[in-house]
Amino acid sequence: MFKKLDILIIKAFIGPFIATFFITLVVLVMQFFWLYIDDFVGKGLGPDIVLRFIWYQSAVLVPLAMPLAILLSSLMTFGNLGESFELVAIKSAGISLLRFMRPLLIVATFLSAAAFMFSNFIIPVAWLNSRTMLSDIVYAKPAFDLKEGVFYDKINDFVIKIVKKEANDFNRVIKRVLYKDLETVSPYNTYRNFGLPPGPIAMPDVSAIDAVLNPEKHNYIYFCASVTNFGYHEFAVTPAQHEVNRQKYVAWVNKQGIKR
């Protein structure tokens, strides 16, 4: 009789536990996205990246969802048993409160041990991956995070006030650099001015910083914009190889009718 009672209580507990665990986990994940919604919008993220980030972040939030799920499912279990008068039948059979609560105590102990192992081995890896992905996403297009008249403090040891933000107008961007551009009078023209420019000319993302700290060993000397993989470059070791890449780029620019 006691074994049947244990099975009855455990079966009544499993369903509500699974439901409340996943509902709580979804709520916590949605709360996290609500906090970082401004950093995700407009970054051109693919569904694979979003799903992978949700997977890592869900693993991080398991320790928060587990206690809530155990508490809510335990209340639901005994509430359902009491509503169907099964608790009355159990008490009338002379079974004590601690005795018919024992199956849930054993299950809760087992879940606590599993949560400890999960926190010890899985969560550190998931936390590292989720934080790394979050940093890459936030700094993938940092211009989206800049707002006029607001202090920007996401650069270590620096606080910058954004006075004016230039519009991202494609027609205003110089797509073809001419020799006369080398003579432009500007403190940022390092062809005319020796040394570094007076201020930053771009905001590198995490991958660029990592490339500087951990440079790849190679023999490349020359680079030219790629016409087959836009946003990237074609590298060359010799002047002859570079000239081939340069001619490809010039031919592409001429074909597109780009004069400026």
**8 A C-beta contact, residue 160 and residue 151:** yes
Q: How confident is the model at residue 65 (pLDDT cuts 50, 70, 90)?
A: very high
Q: Which residues of 138-170 are buried (b: 16+ CB within 10 A; e: fewer)?
A: bbbebeebeeeeeeeeeeeeeeeeeeeeeeeee
Question: Which residue, chain included where needed, has tokens 């969560």?
Answer: 123
Q: How far apart, in whole angstroms, are the C-alpha atoms of residue 232 and residue 234?
A: 7
What is the average pLDDT across 198-203? 76
What is the average pLDDT across 92-97? 81
Q: Which two tokens stand for residue 248?
A: 């490809």
The rounded percent of the chain whose pLDDT value lies above 90 is: 32
The residue among 258 and 128 whose pLDDT is bigger is 128
Measured CA to CA in angstroms, residue 233 lies from 31, 177, 220 at distances of: 40, 16, 12
Given this model, what pLDDT does residue 23 score?
A: 95
pLDDT tens digits for 146-165? 677 777 776 667 777 777 66
> Is residue 129 predicted with pLDDT exceeding 80?
yes
Those residues whose C-beta lies under 8 Å from the C-beta of residue 164, and which sit 6 or more positions away, are 148
Measured CA to CA in angstroms, residue 236 lies from 57, 215, 219, 220, 223 at distances of: 41, 17, 8, 5, 6
What is the average pLDDT across 57-81? 92
The residue among 242 and 83 whose pLDDT is bigger is 242
Those residues whose C-beta lies under 8 Å from the C-beta of residue 175, and which sit 6 or more positions away, are 253, 258, 260
Q: Which among 246, 250, 219 has a CA at the least distance from the CA of 233?
A: 246
**8 A C-beta contact, residue 148 and residue 164:** yes
Q: Amino acid letter at 52?
A: R
Greatest distance between any 2 Cα atoms in the chain:
98
Q: How confident is the model at residue 203 (pLDDT cuts 50, 70, 90)?
A: low
Strands 222-225 vs 233-236: parallel, antiparallel or unpaired: antiparallel
Q: Which among 130, 74, 64 has a CA at the least distance from the CA of 107?
A: 74
What is the average pLDDT across 197-208? 74
Measured CA to CA in angstroms, residue 58 lies from 17, 28, 88, 100, 133 at distances of: 17, 8, 40, 33, 14
Q: How confident is the model at residue 69 (pLDDT cuts 50, 70, 90)?
A: very high
pTM as predicted = 0.55
Q: How far apart, in whole angstroms, are the C-alpha atoms of residue 222 and residue 226?
A: 12
> Is residue 75 predicted with pLDDT exceeding 50?
yes
